[in-house]
Structure 1
Amino acid sequence: MRNLIGPIALVLACPALADENIADQYPGSALYSKPVEVIPYVWSAIGATAPPTYENTGHNNNLSFIVTGDGVIVINGGAAYVLAKALHEEIKKITDQPVKLVLNENGQGHAMLGNGYWSEQGVPIVAHVDAADEFEEYGAQILERMKRYNLEKAEGTFLASPTETFEEEYLIEMGDFKIEALYLGPAHSPGDISVWLPEQSLVIAGDMAFHERMLPIFEDTMTADWLETWETEFETLGATYVIPGHGHPTNMAQVRRYTKDYLVYLREKIGEHLDNGGDLADAYYVDQSPYAHLHTFDELATINAGRVYEQMEFE
Structure 2
Amino acid sequence: MPNNRSWMPYLLIAPSVGFLAAFFLVPLAQTLWLATSEAGVPSLSNFRTMIGDLNFSASLRNTFLLTLAVVPAQLAMAFAMGSMVAKVNTGRETILWVWTIPLGISDLAAGLVWLSILQNSGYLNGLLFSLGIIKQQANWLSYQTPVTLFIAIAVAEIWRGTAIVMIIIVAGLNQIPKEFREAAEIFGAGRWTRFTRITLPLIRPALQSALILRTVLAFEVFAVVYSLGGTNLPVLVGEAYTWQNQNQNYGVAAAYAVLIMMISLAATLAYLKIVKVDPERLP
Structure with the largest fraction of strand: 1
Higher RCO (C-alpha under 8 Å, 6+ residues apart) = 2
TM-score bracket relative to the smaller structure = under 0.3
Structure with the largest fraction of helix: 2
Instruction: Give the TM-score of the pair, scaled to structure 2.
Output: 0.24
Instruction: Give the TM-score of the pair, scaled to structure 1.
Output: 0.22
